[in-house]
Amino acid sequence: MNLPDSFIRYTSRLMGDELYARFSDGLNEEAPVSIRINRLKSRGRSVAGTAVNVPWCGDGRYLPQRPDFTFDPLLHAGCYYVQEASSMFVHHVLRSLVSTPVLMLDMCAAPGGKSTAAASALPEGSILMSNEPVRARANILAENMMKWGSPDVIVTNNYPRDYVRSGLDFDVILCDVPCSGEGMFRKDEGAVEEWSPQNVDACSRLQREIVADAWQCLRPGGLLIYSTCTFNATENEENIRWIVDELGGMPVAVPVSEGWGICGSLLADFTAPVYRFIPGCTRGEGLFMAVLRKSPDAESPIILRKGKRYVQDKYDNGNKKRKDKAIAASLVSRDIEKIVSGWTSFVSGDEHIEPALRQSDVCVLALTPHLARLYDAASLSLRVLSAGVTLGNVKGHDIVPNHSLALSSVLCPDAFPVVPLTYTQAVAYLRRETVALPPDTPMGFVLVAWHDAVLGFVKNIGNRANNLYPQEWKIKSTHVPDREPWVLV
Ligand SMILES: C[S@@+](CC[C@H](N)C(=O)[O-])C[C@H]1O[C@@H](n2cnc3c(N)ncnc32)[C@H](O)[C@@H]1O
């Protein structure tokens, strides 16, 4: 691999000869392929063949080779997520440090690898807000979160400063910040070409801006998880030092096993707990992660913002009159309530709960009551792309069920007839082609599934079935795989 001279000089000095030699060998090895299984949808499936567990994530598996993921209907159904193994460490961090329900914000979330991991790791009753400021990437994030199917998620498309203005505050904030991407050198040659010492400095400045905004949204006693996929100390240890010195962050240790091969700080004068995944030492790509607690005695963000006319009572921030008006406008009619009743099955502990319904433009949303309160507050000042489950789109007097409902873990199993497809039909469905249904299929909206995993809706109109798979997600390749994928069985 052709690395920039200045990168080699700097990194070999930072790591020392022995570690740099292991790292350099690691970079020349093939990058491992790994997936994370979605427990909400796995239904007893396991990984085919000789998959090995990712040590720091119970749902992670290394695969012996890279399958043709695009043509696996189970990937499109959200049964697993393709994620490089080091990034799954966030699952371990959350499982180790968070034991009661929290409100978490993933500030830089696209395409959604760490957000889907967080959704699986957080205690039941938690809420996750997944945010991405770049619009096109935010749409991909919304797609991946929809496929994952967790109902307690809101996806937004905002800059961190918009969150500061929103008045919302969080127990946990993940800042997986944009970085100079040295950890991607092995997988992506473009990352080598784009690298420069100037870019490292520019990234470090942007990272501090993002963290400074995030810190304002963190509740006293809350946790900030900071991560990059780069090796230099400027974007890593030096930024953690800055958070400690300037913001008062208190580093938090995460229990790790020696056999995982994770390294600590590479700066002799900085001994706070930080977690470095380095190819050659750990089986995965480059990753840096550290956790900092905000002092429980720090002033609450609510009090800080009162001076700027942000008044908040828990999530009930903003102008009360404006908010009541917005909620009134978003309530759904009795007719709509009747149509969608029985489409979902929300459970809390052992109890069934009635979802709160909201209408945003033509979309009808179903939200747990605590998510609805947050949604009402968030939609006043943030650009919400999705919240809870989108049940359907109002069309005249009817509602066309939405793909979000098909992929949600709270879809009621009896709400619609389900037609199993063959592998060839499933791929045709994902290409948005017409699929022939058995002659006795009921008319109207029907779910189609492959190996018990729901893929989406069709509308059976008798002589044919209209394919309702989202146009923008369809598989564009016309390649015909010669055998079924063999990832989960
Ligand atoms: C390292 S990636 C996040 C990867 C993601 N957490 C995951 O695991 O899939 C960093 C993200 O930050 C976004 N970003 C860029 N500028 C930003 C800013 N000023 N504030 C917050 N996020 C930003 C990028 O568009 C990118 O999607």
Q: Which domain holds residue 273?
A: 5-30+83-293
185: CA distance to ligand 1 center in Å? 18
Instruction: With CA atoms as reference, report the closest residue to 390 among 429, 412, 358, 418.
Output: 358
- Determine the Cα angle at 61 with ends 92 and 104, to 5°: 30
Q: Does 132 appear as a known binding residue? A: yes
The domain total for the chain is: 3
177: CA distance to ligand 1 center in Å? 5
- Span of 233-247, 266-280, 348-362 with lowest mean pLDDT: 348-362
Average pLDDT over residues 269-294: 97
370 and 286 assigned to the same domain: no
The verdict on residue 147 lying in a domain is: yes
pLDDT at 316 (0 to 100):
52
CATH number of the domain residue 241 falls in? 3.40.50.150
Q: Does 173 sit in the ligand 1 pocket, CB within 6 Å? A: no
Site to probe by mutation for ligand 1, drawn from 177, 210, 226, 230 as the one with most ligand atoms within 8 Å of Cβ, is: 177
Q: Does 230 sit in the ligand 1 pocket, CB within 6 Å? A: no
Q: Does 113 sit in the ligand 1 pocket, CB within 6 Å? A: yes
From the number of C-beta atoms within 10 Å of its C-beta (0-12, 13-18, 19+), residue 326 rates as middle
How far is CA 17 from each of CA 3, 233, 252, 271, rounded to the nearest angstrom?
A: 17, 17, 29, 20
- Span of 47-61, 328-342, 446-460 with lowest mean pLDDT: 328-342
The verdict on residue 302 lying in a domain is: no
| Final residue belonging to a domain, choices 240, 264, 293 | 293
379 and 467 assigned to the same domain: no
**Residue 315 above 80 pLDDT?**
no
Q: Does 79 sit in the ligand 1 pocket, CB within 6 Å? A: no
Please state the ipTM of this predicted complex.
0.99
| Final residue belonging to a domain, choices 228, 263, 293 | 293
Instruction: With CA atoms as reference, report the closest residue to 70 among 470, 456, 405, 431.
Output: 431
278 and 381 assigned to the same domain: no
**Residue 318 above 90 pLDDT?**
no
For atom 2 of ligand 1, the residue with the nearest CA is: 178
* Predicted confidence (pLDDT) per residue in 164-213, tens digit: 999 999 999 999 999 999 998 888 888 889 999 999 999 999 999 999 99
Neighbours of 444 (CB within 10 A): 12
Lay out the sheet containing 444-450: strands in order across. Answer: 418-420, 444-450, 453-460, 465-467
Average pLDDT over residues 474-489: 89
235 and 370 assigned to the same domain: no
382 and 460 assigned to the same domain: no
CB of 478 within 8 A of CB of 427? no
* Predicted confidence (pLDDT) per residue in 245-255, tens digit: 999 999 999 99
333 and 214 assigned to the same domain: no
Q: Is 179 among the catalytic positions?
A: no
The verdict on residue 134 lying in a domain is: yes
- Span of 320-334, 355-369, 382-396 with lowest mean pLDDT: 320-334
pLDDT at 302 (0 to 100):
58
In whole angstroms, what is the distance from residue 435 CA to residue 442 CA?
15
437 and 372 assigned to the same domain: no
Question: Is residue 218 within a helix (H) or strand (E), and if so which, with residue range?
Answer: strand 218-228
87: CA distance to ligand 1 center in Å? 14
The verdict on residue 181 lying in a domain is: yes
The verdict on residue 282 lying in a domain is: yes
pLDDT at 311 (0 to 100):
36
- What contacts 45, CB < 8 A, 6 or more positions away? 37, 74, 79, 488, 489
CATH number of the domain residue 435 falls in? 2.30.130.60
In whole angstroms, what is the distance from residue 297 CA to residue 221 CA?
8
For residue 111, say if its preceding peptide bond is cis, omega within 30 degrees of 0.
yes
